[in-house]
Structure formats: structure tokens, C-alpha cells
Amino acid sequence: MENPAAPLVHTRQGSVMGSTEADFYVWRGIPFAAPPVGSLRWQAPRPVEPWQDVRMATQFSAASWQNSEYCQQVGGGDPGQFSEDCLYLNVWAPRVREKALPVMVWLHGGGFTIGSGGLPPYDGKQLASRGVVLVTVNYRLGHLGFFAHPALEEESGERLYNFGLLDQIAALRWVQQNIALFGGDAAKVTLFGESAGARSVMALMASPLAKGLFHKGIIQSSYTLPDTPRASALARGEAIAAHFGLHNASAAELRNIPADAFWPLAAPLKIAPAPIAGDKVLPETTLDVFFAGRQHPMPVIIGSNSDEASVMAEFGVDLAGQIEKMRRQQRLGLGIIRLLYPGVRGDAELGRQVCRDMAFTTLGLVVMQAQQRVGQPCWRYWFDYVAQAAHGTYINGAWHGNEVPYVFDNLLLSEPSCHYVNDDDLAFAAHIADYWVAFARAEPLVEVLPGPVHWRAAVRGRDRLLRIGLNKHAGFRLVKRFMRARLGFFRRVMRHHVKLD
């Protein structure tokens, strides 16, 4: 059936008017929670105050406060204006549909410190054209989104630190209440994200507060960095208050710190790129929940890229230095690692591969085994495709985040790919988007996703993975026991809480 000629929707909170763009309706900047400003800073998001007049939903909202230059360099583009008043979402839907469509909700990455749902790579038209309703979400970032201090605990009488995750939960509740009005099926919600967005998907799969709000998860390049312990987060909060001259600070004094004063803070006062464990949102660490197989049961896709260590170098990790540190401290059994990486020469290359696999690749095995414990399918992938004109730039494979414009089929909207991609690259991206939408549209008992290669889930102890891109070239291949010896070793290391520092 065809939707009304004008994209006017009467949500529970009020009416919103979007725009018509080719075969799509687009609504930008719909509020899903009250502005978390003033006394609502560092509180769980509150319901939106209903409005009477039609609200124009044609412009993206402001993003949470962040480093604009850094976001433009590595975060996907210009996030635009900043404000604490940032809790808005965006919806893309086909104008013509025969029935309620599956919903895909995107959580952007950026280390929990940069990004927004309105960045160009996340434009939802290409995914919506495949028969889904696409939602992108803003959430509080940095210290505005993840902050602990004794004064806030005393004020509220409960432990709440992960305000950014609470924002994501509020957006999912909005989806449950309203998405049918936009043509979506609230019983078929796939939550997907990359990097910090993927870590958020995992955190919500582990959070008791998110149970039942989504039904499938896609985890793109999440990482094994532990959640921040409550004690460490509280100590950091007190150190930040002291930095601003506030000793024994009250909650009101903390809220008087200007919003733009937080993001320039340097280590050790910046937040870690991981949530805080020990509050109402995450009573225990995300990884402990998955190791124990207590995550919310649902079908999952998980994977990572062939040169994830690129982002670690961006954060100042000396990859070769990590191998030298292992040699000096005799950590992890360097001799074993040499056996696991035969033919890899030099500390720089060995460090790149070891750090990649410890921080990223191993998580695929951990989640696969957790999924098998709860009797749910897990589709694993390894993304190694590089656009043909960029082989000289990405000499070690696909960087952290490089798969995102392929998933959205938005290579022509994304920097820097829009300057050099060719028809072969575009065709390859279309296959990736097809797989992701096939997963969102699949019935619960499906274990094979259609595509250039039938992508079979890892179920009943079967360790399978889809190679996406083979040595940087177009191609798909289903393989068994991918890097199993390496990943099994690092999984044991993770289980005993040994990590790179």
C-alpha cells in the first residue's frame, strides 16, 4: 500500500512532518526524550513534553558535545552543531510498502566521545530501499554520557553512570511505541552498530533494562577492552571535579560546569572507550555476561576488519612496543605467539596482528560460543575488502570503520571513498547491504542468509565464518575454524583478565 502523500505522522508525543525524497519519507530530528540539560544532566532520560502544533522534522538535530575536528578526521564527517539538547533520532522509510517492515536501529561509533546519527555515511535510503525502516540515534557522549561521582549517587539514591546507554534504551522504547506509525514492525527490531556502537549493542544485550526492546543484534568491530570498574569511574569523577576546583562537590555544583568544558580534557581525565560496570544499567561487566552465556537470547551477526589495529595506532598504541613489552615482561608467552603467527617477521607486523586479534578478532569467537550456550545462531564475518583505487593506502587491509559505508551502501556519500570508488566497488557494497538487510528480514529459525555465497550461521558447535573480500579483492568464502588456534589462546587470556595496557 502507499503511505499518505505527505509524511505527516501523529506520534504519541505529537505530530511530526518529514520530507519526501524520491521514493522515501525521511524524518530528521525527532525528539525521543526531554533535553538532558540543567537539573536533568546526569539523570536517566525523561519523557518528552508533548507538543500541540505540527513539528517540522526536516533537519538533523545538534550532536552531543565533542571534538568536531577529530570527528571529521576519523568519525565519519562533520557532526554540525553541538548541544546538551541532543536526544533526537532520524527515520527513513519507503513511501510504498505492502506490510509493516522490519526495523534497523543504528548506533554510531566513535569511542563514546564523537559521532552522531546524522553523519553522511549513515544516510538510510539505500537500506530502506531494500525493505526496512531505518532509524539512527544520537546519545550523550563523553563525560556527559558516562560519568560517576559520589554526589550524584547520594542525590539519586541509586547507581546510574551509563547515561549514553540509557539514551539508547529510551530511543528503543520510542521505537516500540511509535515505529508502526512510520511503517515499521515493532516486533522485528535489529539493533546494529560499529565500534562503540557495537559495544553498545553488546552492553544492551547484557543489560536487564533493555530486555525485549530489540530482537536481533549486529556487532561490527566491537572490542575486548574491559568495562570501567565503578571504583575507577568514581575516582575519575572526583578528579575531574577537582580539576575544575570543586572539592567535596555537590551535584548542583557539578551541573554548573559548562558542557563544553569536558571534551577537551586529556588523559587521565578523559573517559575510557567502554561503559562503566556496576550500575543499574550494567550490574556486571558486559564481557562477563557473554562469557557466562547470560546475554539476552537473539540471533547475532558479529565480525571485524583485517586491519583493526589501525585505530589502536590512532590512539597512540605503539604496536611494535607491545611485542617488546611482552618480551621484556615475559607476558602471554611470546614463544607461543611466535608459533601462532608463523612467517610474520618484525615486531611492527607481529604487533599489528597480535593487537588486532587480541582486541578485536577474538571477540567473534567469544560471542559465537556465548550464542551457542543460549541456543541462538551467530553469523561471523571477516571484512578484508579495500576499494580498488585505495590498495596503496590500505596496505594491510580494511581499517577500523571501513566496512560502514559498505553496510549502508553509501560509498558515494562517504569520505574519502566518494572520490575514488568504481563500479566494482559499488557492486560489492550492494552485496554487503543485501546481507545485512537479509538478516534483519529473516524469520527467527533461518540459519542461512542468501547472497553471492550462502552465509551459514555458526550453530551446534559449527565454527563458520564468511570471508568478505579475499586479500582486498571482491569475493566471498565460507571458512571453518577461522584462526581457531590464535583466537582460542587469546580467549583464554581474556578469561583470566590479562590485557594489553
CB 268 within 8 Å of CB 158: no
Q: Determine how β-strand 24-31 pairs with β-strand 88-94.
A: antiparallel
Alpha-carbon span 371 to 394, nearest angstrom: 33
In 256-361, where does DSSP find H-type helix? 286-291, 309-314, 319-329, 334-340, 347-356
For residue 315, count other CB atoms closer than 10 A to its CB.
Answer: 8
Alpha-carbon span 29 to 336, nearest angstrom: 52
Q: Is 447 a catalytic residue?
A: no
CA distances from residue 297 to 217, 247, 372, 375 in whole angstroms, order as listed: 10, 45, 10, 8
Q: How many residues belong to the chain?
A: 501
Active-site entry in 84, 194, 400, 417: 400
Q: For cell 573517559, name the residue.
A: 271
In a 3-state reduction of DSSP, which class is residue 365?
helix
Alpha-carbon span 372 to 404, nearest angstrom: 27
Tell me whether residue 393 is exposed, middle or buried, using C-beta atoms within 10 angstroms of its C-beta: 0 to 12, 13 to 18, 19 or more.
exposed
Q: Is 154 a catalytic residue?
A: no
Q: For cell 568514581, name the residue.
A: 234
Contacts 24+ apart (CB under 8 A), 326-331: 331/498
Q: For cell 588456534, name the residue.
A: 485
C-alpha cell at 136: 539512527
Q: Is 349 a catalytic residue?
A: no
Active-site entry in 84, 194, 238, 308: 308
Q: Determine how β-strand 101-107 pairs with β-strand 88-94.
A: unpaired
For residue 52, the 8-state DSSP code is: S
Alpha-carbon span 14 to 56, nearest angstrom: 11
CB proximity list for 479: less than 8 A, separation 6 or greater: 464, 465, 466, 467
Q: Which of 379, 443, 62 shows the shortest CA–CA distance to 192?
A: 379
CB proximity list for 381: less than 8 A, separation 6 or greater: 301, 302, 303, 455, 465, 466, 467, 468
CA distances from residue 79 to 69, 197, 379 in whole angstroms, order as listed: 9, 16, 32
CA atoms within 13 A on the CB side of 222: 31
Active-site entry in 61, 195, 200, 207: 195
* DSSP code string of 222-246: ---PPPEEHHHHHHHHHHHHHHTT-
Alpha-carbon span 405 to 413, nearest angstrom: 8
Q: Which residues have a catalytic role annotated?
A: 195, 308, 400
